[in-house]
């Protein structure tokens, strides 16, 4: 079965996913994504950064660090597990440690607990553990574990991206520079106003799909699409009075399918144009281009793509675009290249607009 196409074309989760920028100023709006040992860092277009520590072992603890950009941005650190952890059971490399007392008692049974009450306490906790190897909730081989390998590199990358190096708010390389030296956070882009066209009637939708199937046959063949037209879940949607968007199902797997998208004139003039949309990360040194859309959806001027790396949805990418009457403009993008047992669909943000 050619479900591998979903991964190779639409979701390449290899080490080729690298930071598009390592600029040391928060004025840069180019997102950063980097995997370092057992930690991943994702900083979005506003330089808000998220660092996640996770490993393949089970059961595991997941450490999640969130830091907004700008002088007022303070770190928020949480510990995630299947069941709440007691501070007295927390171990650093097998030994109790005093700063474990900063783990706040659980208020729910969901296993997400905060560490520290403010940014200063979070930095104290990170200082205490960043040179360690692992955190454990209890003792023995069955104790849930969080890997600390790569944590220092993750903290340094956040400091560099947000311009915190040498300041009092740095996570790793703290210094005497005042908080005012930290660059202001970039503004969150305003949401794009969508152009919403009336729905197509069934006759026109069928006609547009049939035309796209006929005129884009060579393109479908080049992509090695294996879903037969008579069983394919194809769709057509009006973009405006002149154009339509057609999705031709190409590959189908056990839990998702991918489609090729085309824009075409509703008056039968011209040939279909393939839709290829760029998102702000790099794959193998080139900008990431989505040219096969997984679990695609379109409605109210909004185009969505949700590609799971595997059925658990603990890794993958999702994106949303708004059609402004001329082009599809990115509204949100999320990605996690590791399949390591995190919560389904809970992938770091790399692009957001106001209200997201």
139-161, pLDDT tens digit by residue?
A: 888 899 999 999 999 999 999 99
The pLDDT of residue 286:
84
**pLDDT at 11 exceeding the cut of 70:** no
Across 23-27, 138-142, 234-238, 333-337, least confident range: 23-27
The pLDDT of residue 2:
32
Overall pTM surpassing 0.85 (yes/no) = yes
The pLDDT of residue 141:
82
Phi, psi of 158 (to 5 degrees): -65, -45
**pLDDT at 301 exceeding the cut of 50:** yes
Do the beta carbons of residue 333 and residue 318 sit within 8 Å? yes
Give which of 146, 125, 138, 148 is closest to 80, Cα–Cα.
146
Q: What is the 3-state secondary structure (H, E, C) of the chain?
A: CCCHHHHHHHCCCCCCEECCCCCCCCCCCCCEEEEECCEEEEECCCCCEEEEECCCCCCECEEEEEECCCCCCCEEEEEECCCCCCHHHEEECCEECHHHHHECCCCCCCCEEEECCCHHHHHHHHHHHCCCCEEEECCCCCCCEEECCCHHHHHHHHHHHHCCCCECCCCCCCCCECHHHCCCCCCCCCCCCCCCCCCCCHHHHHHHHHHHHHHCHHHHHHCCCCCCCCCCCCEEEECCCCEEEEEEEEEECCCCEEEEEEEEECCCCCCCEECCEEEEEEECCEEEEECCEECCEEECCEEEEEEECCCCCCCEEEEEEEECCCCEEEEEEEEECCCCCCCCCCCCEEECCCCC
**pLDDT at 22 exceeding the cut of 90:** no
223-266, pLDDT tens digit by residue?
A: 999 999 999 999 999 999 999 999 999 999 988 999 999 999 99
**pLDDT at 121 exceeding the cut of 80:** yes
The mean pLDDT value of the chain amounts to 89
The pLDDT of residue 4:
32
**pLDDT at 196 exceeding the cut of 50:** yes
Do the beta carbons of residue 314 and residue 341 sit within 8 Å? yes
Higher pLDDT, 126 or 21: 126
The pLDDT of residue 352:
94
Give which of 160, 180, 224 is closest to 8, Cα–Cα.
224
Protein fold of 13-181: Immunoglobulin-like (2.60.40)
**pLDDT at 188 exceeding the cut of 90:** yes
**pLDDT at 23 exceeding the cut of 60:** no
**pLDDT at 317 exceeding the cut of 90:** yes
**pLDDT at 280 exceeding the cut of 60:** yes
**pLDDT at 284 exceeding the cut of 90:** no
| Domain ranges in the chain with CATH number 2.60.40 | 13-181
Q: How far apart are CA 307 and CA 86, in angstroms?
A: 36
The pLDDT of residue 201:
96
**pLDDT at 27 exceeding the cut of 70:** no
% pLDDT > 90, the chain: 78
* Residue recorded with tokens 């510990």: 79
The pLDDT of residue 212:
97
**pLDDT at 14 exceeding the cut of 60:** no
Q: How far apart are CA 339 and CA 323, in angstroms?
A: 31
The pLDDT of residue 57:
77
Q: How sure is the predictor about 18, in pLDDT bands with cuts at 50, 70 and 90?
A: very low
């Amino acid at each position: 079965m050619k479900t591998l196409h979903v991964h190779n074309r639409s979701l390449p989760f290899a080490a080729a996913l690298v930071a598009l920028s390592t600029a040391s100023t928060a004025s840069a709006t180019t997102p950063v994504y980097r995997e370092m040992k057992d930690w991943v860092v994702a900083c979005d277009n506003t330089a808000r950064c998220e660092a996640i520590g996770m490993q393949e072992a089970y059961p595991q603890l997941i450490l999640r660090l969130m830091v907004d950009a700008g002088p007022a941005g303070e770190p928020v650190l949480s510990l995630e597990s299947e069941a709440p952890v007691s501070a007295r059971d927390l171990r650093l490399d097998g030994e109790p440690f005093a700063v474990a007392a900063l783990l706040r008692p659980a208020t729910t049974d969901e296993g997400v607990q905060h560490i520290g009450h403010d940014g200063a306490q979070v930095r104290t906790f990170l200082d205490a553990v960043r040179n360690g190897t692992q955190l454990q909730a209890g003792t023995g081989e069955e104790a849930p574990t969080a890997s600390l390998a790569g944590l220092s590199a993750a903290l340094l990358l956040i400091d560099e991206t947000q311009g915190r190096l040498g300041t009092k708010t740095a996570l790793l390389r703290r210094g005497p520079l005042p908080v005012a030296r930290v660059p202001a956070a970039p503004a969150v882009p305003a949401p794009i106003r969508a152009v919403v066209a009336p729905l197509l009637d069934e006759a026109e939708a069928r006609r547009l799909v049939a035309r796209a199937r006929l005129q884009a046959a060579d393109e479908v063949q080049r992509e090695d699409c294996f879903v037969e037209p008579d069983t394919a879940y194809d769709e057509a949607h009006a973009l405006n009075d002149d154009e339509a968007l057609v999705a031709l199902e190409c590959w189908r797997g056990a839990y998702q399918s991918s489609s090729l998208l085309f824009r075409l004139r509703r008056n039968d003039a011209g040939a279909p144009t393939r839709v290829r949309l760029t998102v702000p990360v790099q794959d193998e040194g080139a900008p990431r281009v989505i040219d096969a859309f997984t679990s695609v959806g379109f409605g109210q001027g909004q185009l969505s793509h949700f590609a799971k790396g595997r059925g658990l949805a603990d890794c993958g990418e999702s994106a949303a675009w708004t059609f402004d009457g001329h082009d599809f403009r990115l509204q949100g993008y999320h990605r996690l290249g590791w399949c390591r047992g995190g919560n389904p669909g809970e992938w770091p943000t790399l692009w957001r607009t106001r209200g997201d």
